[in-house]
Structure 1
Amino acid sequence: MSDGQGAKTSRLPPRWFIRLAWSVHRSLYRVSGGRVGLWRPRTTGWGTLRLTTTGRRTGQQRSVILGYLEDGPNLFSLAMNGWGEGEPAWWLNLRAHPDASVDLVGGRRLVRGRAATGDERLRLWARWREVETNLDVHAARRPSETAVVVLEPRPGGSSPMQ
């Protein structure tokens, strides 16, 4: 559900376009060998990372590129599935197998994922709202609350890019 504002509306591109844009983004990342497609967050916008999880059914490694922001040593993202219904597969995988890795501009990190709750969720949601002004409007399109996913460093935290 929404986390605040009421009846405002904001236009989103069609879902097929959002999926196509992220597909092209992943392809650019893959074709460039990881040299194109990731960037650090800026004061006016989120960054992108490549999250690799373990598939909840297959046990195989699954990767996705996500928008993220930083919160001290933690990274966080929104499990929004293009603002469509249902939970994104990467979030379902992370809930089943919380240990994962992220590729960032500066290298790879080992992380453990979890959902933010309570005051932490409210604080992180407000931080995301600073860079995405229509956040509450978009979130209201979903039939359930959008999870704020925290990626905490794990022991052995960094490893060289592969």
Structure 2
Amino acid sequence: MNPTDSPIDWVAKHIKEYIETDGRKGHRRWGVTTLLLITRGRRSGLPRRTALIYGTDGERLVVVGSNGGADAHPAWYLNLLAEPSAHVQVGAEQFAVTAVEAEGEERERLWEMMAGLWADYERYRTGTSRAIPVVVLERAGPSAG
């Protein structure tokens, strides 16, 4: 079943370009690397796809649930809380991942790394009362697509 793409217009356009070019266009955007994340909707049970900035920590991928600094967590993060198994596309490569929220010292280290990649994360953090999650995506094995 094909995933439903983000309802945010510019994100949906980014996803479309990423998919159509196997990541040749879209993997690198705004001076950073981006991936496509497919989660299972926590209420619908249907696959949902979004594009996110990512960093790497060894073999692991790191994403931030900033939601542009909004006071609510992004839907993809809430979906991962309900079902941590997901799929990603990084460039042309697609694979299964398991999401784990970083905590404590690891979270702080990864936050600093991600804020170094995307300075707006610091502005987002000071503009909201919620703790912005840092999520580690660990490769789970081959993906069925």
Place the TM-score, normalised by the shorter chain, in its bin.
Answer: 0.7 to 0.9
Greater RCO, CA 8 A, separation 6+: 1
Moved over 4 A (4+): none
Q: How far 1:142 moved relative to its partner?
A: 1.4
Change (3 A) 1:159 1:136: same
Q: Deviations over 1:23-75 (max 9, x none)?
A: 33123235x254432239xxxx5310000111101111111111100001110
Which one has the largest radius of gyration? 1
Equivalent in the alignment of 1:67: 53
Change (3 A) 1:27 1:106: closer
Equivalent in the alignment of 1:122: 108
Paired with 1:84 and 1:108, the residues of 2 have a C-alpha distance of 29
Within 5 A, what are the aligned runs for 1:82-97? Answer: 82-97=68-83
TM-score (norm 1): 0.75
Pick from 139, 142, 145: which aligns with 1:158?
142
Letter in 2 for 1:81: N
Q: How far 1:106 moved relative to its partner?
A: 4.3
Equivalent in the alignment of 1:22: 11
Equivalent in the alignment of 1:107: 93
Paired with 1:90 and 1:51, the residues of 2 have a C-alpha distance of 8
Paired with 2:59 and 2:12, the residues of 1 have a C-alpha distance of 29
Equivalent in the alignment of 1:146: 132
Structure 1 gaps of 5+ residues are: 1-18
Q: How far 1:114 moved relative to its partner?
A: 1.7
Letter in 1 for 2:119: T
TM-score (norm 2): 0.83
Letter in 1 for 2:91: V
The SS at the match of 2:28 is coil
Q: Is the 8 Å Cα contact of residues 22 and 92 (structure 2) preserved in structure 1?
A: no
Letter in 2 for 1:144: R
Aligned length: 137
Q: How far 1:128 moved relative to its partner?
A: 1.3
Structure 2 gaps of 5+ residues are: 1-7
Letter in 1 for 2:90: L
The SS at the match of 1:21 is helix
